[in-house]
Chains A and B, each alone.
Chain A
Amino acid sequence: MTTVLKYFRLWVKLTMNSFLSVLSSRLSAGLFLLGKSLRFIFFGIFLWALFAKVTHIAEYSFLQALFFYLTFNFIDTVTQLFFREVYRFRQLVVSGDFDLVLVKPTNPLFRALAGGADPLDVLMLIPYIGALVYVFLQLKGVTMWGVSSYVLLVTNGLVIATGFHILVLALAIMTTEVDHAIMIYRDLTSMGRVPVDIYQEPLRGIITFVIPIGIMMTFPAKALFGLLTPGMVALAVIVGVGFLVVCLRLWRFALTQYASASS
């Protein structure tokens, strides 16, 4: 309990520093916020324009497609909110400054992963959650089982996202040549902006079970619509937890490969 409290206090401190850093340039923060808002609105307009002409895409109605998109945004933004530090990690490695993290009496993974939340994502979460709740209330035929499994699978999605971020950190240590692994993760997850059912096999299978984007982004909404059996929900959780365990092991291995270059 004391350890949890210690890390919570540390996270609050790092987050306050991050907030001060981001808000030191208000114009820049404002432009980023505007950009993020527009990106969200634009894709919504695109979906709306599409559904003005078609009633269903891959068996999903407009409200369902919107719910998929909003769930994607929620998971993506919560992840970015907590793990923004990952975007700056490679620089720590190539400059050798990661040494300074390693000598501190804290878990280096905690510092590298959650070393400061992004205030802009906190602001963005407000409309996302509002829209998610609004669309949820418009959906018909939702059951308690659907809601419970949705919450469970969103949590599972966040676990998978954590795994992906740990993987990116491990890659940054093991191969300094990759300078945009995190952006590859972003592009991969963007495949979940729409239900993965639209993709052809074998791509659909790969992004569902091999690279579990489908489990992370599509499964929660599918569970809410009653399209997943309890067995599939259980399998999704097993894949999620298993993925995190593998990523943690990879991180531990990566730490042994750290060469403290340029320090």
Chain B
Amino acid sequence: MKLAIQIIKNTWEEYMMYRLSFVLWRVRSVMQLVVTYFLWWAIFSQHTELFGYTQSMMLTYILLGAIVRPLVMGTRTQEVGGMINDGSLSNYLIRPMNIFRFFFSRDIGDKTLNILFAVVEIALLLFFLRPPIFLQANGLILFFTAVSLLIGMMIFFYFSLLLSFLGFWSPDVWAPRFLSFVLAEFFTGILFPLDILPAPLFLLSKLLPFSYFIYFPLKVYLGQLQMSSILIGIFVGFLWIGGMKFLASLFWKKGLRVYAAEGR
């Protein structure tokens, strides 16, 4: 635990070395949010209810999405591909620690710092824009929201590691990640709730793990899912974690066999 805390602290210090860069990164996040927020605000200025959402539910979905995103998808694992390619992974292999826990601790450092900023940003937006917000008061629903967020975090962690582990076999680690960004932007539901999509696309989105990153936790929070759907969703989420973890471990083991520490 002490080691994990130290790794988290180190991750924060790394960010604080390049403060302006980090602040500008947050500015980027706010800009992305503002586009989506105002688009939905403009749409709901002419409608009281649309796609089964009231204005307050939709704006809550979009604003909370900006907090859920860094919580679930905040990561440093994208660096692993580069570490494999330039051989610097060797520096970590010789240390007496579990490498998966090391990467996860770095992710926690990334998530905590980004969430801290995201909460302040959302508070400022709430203050200036004063949108109608839906607050969930049901304790059980809030508990299941927390569980679904944890599921999203774990699936994303292993998914992102998997993409980076491709570096064991190819120097082109950025292209698959770019493709995953594009797929995630659409199928996570960050721009819109997935259930506004045409039925075949919505069905496809449910077959992919991306919906666990944003859409599923927020749907649970909004109380728009029946208890049976929540429980089934959580069960399938655990299956995704198991599957992704298995694949990540397999890629890691097989990858280490071909790892040649090139560049060192």
Q: B-side binding surface: helix, strand, loop or mixed? A: helix
Contact with B along A189-213 (1 / 0, CB 8 A): 0110110001110010000000000
A54 within 8 A of B: yes
CB contacts under 8 Å to B, within A154-177, are 175, 177
Report if A249 contacts B (CB, 8 A): no
Interface assignment of A31: CB less than 8 Å from any CB of chain B? yes
Residue among A27, A39, A177 making CB contact with B20, cutoff 8 Å: A177
Do A198 and B38 contact each other (CB < 8 Å), given the known contacts A54-B46, A54-B50, A179-B18? yes
Interface check A261, CB cutoff 8 A: no
A198–chain B nearest beta-carbon distance, Å? 4
Q: How many residues of B contact A (CB 8 A)?
A: 41
Is B172 a contact of A28 with CB atoms below 8 Å? yes
Give the shortest distance, in Å, between A159 (CB) and chain B (any CB).
23
- How many pairs, one residue from A and one from B, have CB atoms within 8 Å of each other in the complex? 104
A110 on interface, CB distance cutoff 8 Å: no
CA distance A175 to B185 in the complex (A): 31
Q: Specify which chain B residues have a CB less than 8 angstroms from the CB of A142 in the assembled complex.
A: none
Measured CB to CB, the residues of A under 8 A from B are: 25, 27-29, 31-32, 34-36, 38-39, 42, 45-46, 49-50, 52-54, 56-58, 175, 177-181, 183-184, 187-188, 190-191, 193-194, 198-200, 203
27 A/B residue pairs, CB under 8 Å, sorted by A = A28-B174, A31-B179, A32-B179, A35-B181, A35-B182, A36-B182, A38-B182, A42-B185, A42-B186, A45-B198, A53-B50, A54-B50, A177-B18, A178-B20, A178-B21, A179-B21, A180-B24, A180-B28, A183-B28, A184-B27, A187-B28, A187-B31, A187-B32, A190-B31, A191-B35, A194-B39, A198-B39
